[in-house]
Structure 1
Amino acid sequence: MRSPHQPGDSSAPDLPGYYFDPEKNRYFRLLPGHNNCNPLTKESIQQKEMEGKRLQLLEEEEKKKKKVARMGFNASSFLRKSQLGFLNVNSYCRLVHELRVSCMERKRVHIQRSNPFTLTSDQFSLILVDTNSDQLFTVNNDIEGAKHGIISLSGLKTPAPKVRMLENFYFTSHKVNSVCWALLNHLDSHILLCLLGFAQTPGCATLIPASLFTSSHPGVDWRGMLCSFRIPGAWSCGWCLNIQANTCFSTGLSQRVLLTSVVTGHRQSYRTNSDVLAQEFAVMTLLLFNGCCSGEIFAIDLRSRSQGKSCKATCLFHDSAVTSLRILQEEQSVMASDMAGKIKLWDLRAMKCIRQCEDHVNEYAWLPLHVHEEEGILVAVGQDCYTRIWSLQGAHLLRTILSPYPASKNNIPSVAFSSQLGGFQGTPGLLMAVKQDLYYFSYS
């Protein structure tokens, strides 16, 4: 079917069941996506368009590397303005970080394994850096289930970045819904996992000691070191760092929040109106912030024994399901993202949105936020597989990092940013895990 429009004209009218190709200047019939004999479906068209856009942006990025930085936007200029008193210390540091972030270059990281027979085809589904930024907890998927491990990041300081995969995998067939580092014996001594039920085995929350991966003692029954709590259907979890309740963790369930003491096993339940998809504890106060499928954000005062609405200390609302929450250091504001692609900064005193980051892409996925106040940046990966970095000060987009692989729902990167990757005297940078590869974006 020919169209009277000129080639490349995107104003061709939409016809139900047909797709207009501007290059060939004609309509093509669409069939349902489940029809294996039909190569032309809406999904394949969208995939082709996304890949074309990715390749175009990669080409533009290569051209930008060859361009000279614009006049006045360089570290020397910032330092001179600071010395002359035109910039205070905070503004100087923020601008330098924004400059460095825009100049980060990608390097592939070599992963060393002590066991040469370990499969290297297991795909990363999640990475989580610890407080000191010298270890990376990983969740890898294979055909039988999920493998958990820890990567030592000390080798990132070398010119050719390399890391060591600590073997002794803890293996489970359960899907990981949520994960966080836990303070039990010391900071980041354990990892808390929310595991989905599988077959006849119910879901649970499991505490794994980090020493399970870093120590190697043949013959030791490591299963005896695990601490599991039967909590089926947990969507999210969080560990309390407040000194008054630092042996407690929370889990977000269907229309319920469960607070559990690891030492005594005591549980406190709080009713909600919706599934709790995101959680984070305040540190200076006994408040637990929760993000719900209904779009509601509320805080629970842990001193309250009430199980109803009276325990809610704060209530905010998004238009879509909230997937991630981050409390800022002074605990007077909270950053939240939802399944409509909105990222909002809320003032907890005025109870209103004071800033919003644009261009984030999300329709149905659980995608975390990474807030770094010291560097003044916010990092998030979209459902389009693009990693975006915004300024916390002005909420403007600083950098868009493309995935090295074609975009798909199975190839969404997992990232970790830190001001000292590799531990003490480490350098600021971003780690990106996608498929079976790990990439390092360091400050130049």
Structure 2
Amino acid sequence: MRRNYKPEGRGHNRHRNWRRQDTRWHNNYRCRTGASSDVASPSSSTGSSSSSTQSSSVPELPGFYYDPEKNRYFRLLPGHNNCNPLTKEGIMKKQMEVKRLQDLEEDKNRKKSSRLGLNASLLLRKQQLGSLPSTTYCRRIHEMKVSCMQMKKVTIVNPESVGVETLKYEFILADSPCERLFVVNDLENGFCKYDLLNLNGLWKDVPTVESHDDNLYFTSQKVVTACWASLNAPDSHVLVCFLGKPEAPGCVSLIPACRFRNLAADYDDVRPEVVYNIRISNAWSCAWCLNPRLECSYAAGLRNQVLVLNAITDVQYTFRTNSDVLAQQFATQNLLLYNGCRSGEVFSIDLRVPYRSPNNCRKGVTFSQSSSITCLRLLQDENYLVVSDMSGQIKLWDLRMVKSVHNYEGHVNSYAHLPVHVKEEEGLLLAVGQDCYTRIWNFQDARLLRTIPSPHPAAKDSIPSIVFSSYHGGKRPVPGLLMAVKKDLYHFTYDSLDF
């Protein structure tokens, strides 16, 4: 019985293995031909997201890409290839462009209010009855108007030059009253150019800004960061950090605003001020101090150290750190300097405490986030600090308890040095992600109010730079958002007809 049993068992196992192999071959054939019953037809698939289509309708095969329009698989090649341009980078770029165009269309037809039951007449009635504080009423109105901002293209006018070629924007920076923009442009030959834009013409039907450039301000060094400085008057200079090269060392410059043509009426009668330069290698950040007890002083974040200098007396102090300092901001009520490092650490330096050597500086408040710090924003109540990092986290910290209060979700960043804009009076927080989307949050409850796609296709070299204010232009203030991307300047203005 044993001899008769063994051959039956072997034959039975071979028959079972053959059925397994046949099933595997049949499944692979159905996957390659797209004949699976779970595969959606080309007419039903939108093609906006390949990853969602593969996960929901067709299986994902390593090294292959499923095209829902052609209903078949294509082989992926590593990197770029001139003969077959079907690569992961090209597919992701195509998907992002399709999604951006869809988001642009949805943004035009979006709802006017971001909260249920929020309208201007109800808010005004509550404010008149005294049940709504004036600050809350102002913030709710700004929240509603931000939800229906309309995009207009801005025309740049240069009164002295005709036919000037439009240059690519690197970033823009507004002064305190939001009357001028410091602009850094990239040139095709590796040089960069910077000038000032006057915002007095934004109120026109076709918004215009006037350029006050100076042909002397061309440099082959990259502008790392910049901030406005009040040396002898409010916002009288611009503090600029230049990245060093082997043939040209890095430096920090104080550029007088009056050096730009047509900015002052008596420019020809006044002797131009000298640009203040100091050679500093590897400067990653800078900050100007507005505290009168530390007048005419600024800080620079370097490699493993912090430098505090006085622009008049040239007195400088050095503080050693354990990591590169990528973000800085001075407090105005106390002599504190907040620093954000590449290691993710955030700490403050009390400048009232004397020190004997650069290595014994006393750190005040200290905490960490999960990635390199990109931006610090101290609130009017200096017990709170907004911190963003390269993992996409934006958090509001209570410095008394050293505790995170709010987390503003949705920001996209993995390695870029991107700023965050805080508008406390309007109750808004704004940031541009590495995906080229501009996101606006309610500052008090961290609610995402609006996501604005870029007017241009997303790319690493076309991340928009923004400035938001409710009083752009000075004499005739125009509220809204200014966005510089590629060679164009846009103004997202409030639509007052709906209120």
Q: TM-score range by the shorter chain?
A: over 0.9
Partners of 1:231 and 1:147 in 2: how far apart?
A: 21
Are 1:430 and 2:496 counterparts?
Answer: no
Structure number with larger C-alpha Rg? 2
Residue aligning to 1:92: 137
Equivalent of 1:142, from 166, 181, 187? 187
Moved more, 328-337 or 36-45: 36-45
Letter in 1 for 2:257: A
Residue aligning to 1:45: 91
Partners of 1:47 and 1:126 in 2: how far apart?
A: 23
Letter in 1 for 2:158: R
Equivalent of 1:165, from 211, 221, 234? 211
Are 1:2 and 2:33 counterparts?
Answer: yes
Equivalent of 1:81, from 104, 126, 132? 126
Equivalent of 1:299, from 330, 333, 348? 348
Determine if contact 1:115/1:167 at 8 Å carries over to the other structure: no
Q: Which secondary structure state, in structure 2, belongs to the residue aligned with residue 419 of structure 1? A: strand
TM-superposed CA distance for 1:117, in Å, is 4.0
Moved more, 326-335 or 304-313: 304-313
Residue aligning to 2:104: 58
Determine if contact 2:200/2:476 at 8 Å carries over to the other structure: no
- What do residues 49-84 of structure 1 show as CA deviations (whole Å, max 9, x unaligned)? 11111111111122236x799874221110001222
Letter in 2 for 1:17: G
Determine if contact 1:173/1:198 at 8 Å carries over to the other structure: no
Over 3 Å counting, the alpha-carbon distance change for 1:375 and 1:54 in structure 2 is: same
Determine if contact 2:319/2:361 at 8 Å carries over to the other structure: no
Letter in 2 for 1:164: E
- What do residues 124-170 of structure 1 show as CA deviations (whole Å, max 9, x unaligned)? 11100001111011000012311010000011122321111113241
Structure with the larger helix share = 2
Determine if contact 1:239/1:246 at 8 Å carries over to the other structure: no
Residue aligning to 1:271: 320
Moved more, 109-118 or 240-249: 109-118
Residue aligning to 1:30: 76
TM-score (norm. length: structure 2): 0.84
Partners of 2:163 and 2:365 in 1: how far apart?
A: 48
Over 3 Å counting, the alpha-carbon distance change for 1:197 and 1:279 in structure 2 is: same
Q: Give the paired residue count.
A: 442
Partners of 1:402 and 1:34 in 2: how far apart?
A: 27
Q: Which secondary structure state, in structure 2, belongs to the residue aligned with residue 64 of structure 1? A: coil
Partners of 2:400 and 2:79 in 1: how far apart?
A: 49
TM-superposed CA distance for 1:425, in Å, is 4.5
Letter in 1 for 2:460: K
Partners of 1:103 and 1:110 in 2: how far apart?
A: 22
Are 1:389 and 2:440 counterparts?
Answer: yes
Matches within 5 A, 1:25-424: 25-64=71-110, 72-117=117-162, 119-144=164-189, 145-169=191-215, 170-213=217-260, 214=263, 225-306=274-355, 307-308=358-359, 310-424=361-475
Structure 2 unaligned spans of 5+: 1-31, 46-52
TM-score (norm. length: structure 1): 0.95
Over 3 Å counting, the alpha-carbon distance change for 1:71 and 1:264 in structure 2 is: closer
Determine if contact 1:179/1:194 at 8 Å carries over to the other structure: yes
Partners of 1:221 and 1:329 in 2: how far apart?
A: 37
Partners of 1:316 and 1:419 in 2: how far apart?
A: 33
Moved more, 163-172 or 320-329: 163-172
Determine if contact 1:134/1:421 at 8 Å carries over to the other structure: yes
Determine if contact 2:286/2:299 at 8 Å carries over to the other structure: yes
Determine if contact 2:194/2:213 at 8 Å carries over to the other structure: no
Structure with the larger strand share = 1
Determine if contact 1:255/1:275 at 8 Å carries over to the other structure: yes
Partners of 2:360 and 2:59 in 1: how far apart?
A: 51
Partners of 2:271 and 2:93 in 1: how far apart?
A: 47
Partners of 1:363 and 1:71 in 2: how far apart?
A: 34
Partners of 1:68 and 1:220 in 2: how far apart?
A: 52
Q: Which secondary structure state, in structure 1, belongs to the residue aligned with residue 449 of structure 2? A: strand
Determine if contact 2:303/2:325 at 8 Å carries over to the other structure: yes
Q: Which secondary structure state, in structure 2, belongs to the residue aligned with residue 179 of structure 1? A: strand
Matches within 5 A, 1:6-17: 6-7=39-40, 8=45, 9-11=53-55, 12-17=58-63
TM-superposed CA distance for 1:363, in Å, is 0.7
TM-superposed CA distance for 1:305, in Å, is 3.6
Structure 1 unaligned spans of 5+: none
Q: Which secondary structure state, in structure 2, belongs to the residue aligned with residue 55 of structure 1? A: helix
Partners of 1:367 and 1:48 in 2: how far apart?
A: 24
Determine if contact 1:124/1:434 at 8 Å carries over to the other structure: yes
